[in-house]
Amino acid sequence: MDDKSKVVKVKKNPDGDITDVMLENGNVYSIDEAIMMAKDHLIEGVNVGKSRNGREYLRSNPNDNESDNLDNKPTF
């Protein structure tokens, strides 16, 4: 992947947790793959957070626009 791509859609499990992401180019990645890609700065507009239990998760970069939060993205 030469240039950064943005997350455009997400897939969630029945608990509402994001399990997969779709990028602008149509490629789909598991959340674990997306976290690794975000660490390598291959996905634009996201960063990796760490929960209190130590689990890593993908989150949108902070801004004043809630519509681009990953939880608010369209699902596929």
The pLDDT of residue 5 is: 93
The answer to whether the beta carbons of residues 72 and 59 sit under 8 Å apart is no
Is pLDDT at 62 greater than 60 in this prediction? yes
Whether pLDDT at 1 is above 60: no
pLDDT(63) > 70: yes
pLDDT of residue 2: 54
